[in-house]
Amino acid sequence: MTEKRPASPLEKRVRRACYLALVALALIAWSQLHPDPLPVIVSMSVGQVIGTLSLLLFIHAIVADLRAMLSRGKAPPPSQPPPSA
């Protein structure tokens, strides 16, 4: 039997970003299914704000993870070009 470990703050941030992105996507899909003025206006304003907030939370999680790696003395893995054939 596996034990559940508590979610780290970084993981919680990423999950919140994903949930917000799904809400924004649902609002946008609503405007596609009901192309009346109200759903379109709501998706273009509220959906965009929620989607942007989701993106900012995700970027914040990435920056926090990179900062934590650098403070522990670990450098992020280097990107290397693919080997030439």
Kindly report, residue by residue over 9-41, the tens digit of the pLDDT. Answer: 888 888 999 999 999 999 888 888 888 888 888
pTM, to two decimals? 0.70
* C-alpha distance across the termini of the chain, in Å: 46
Q: Say yes or no to pLDDT of 75 above 70.
A: no
pLDDT band at 2 (very low <50, low <70, confident <90, very high): low
Q: Which residues of 38-77 are buried (b: 16+ CB within 10 A; e: fewer)?
A: ebbeebeeebeebbebbeebbeebeeeeeeeeeeeeeeee
Tokens of 9: 């703050």
Tokens of 16: 């919140």
pLDDT at 58: 93
Q: Is 73 left (phi over 0), alpha (psi -120 to 50) or beta?
A: left
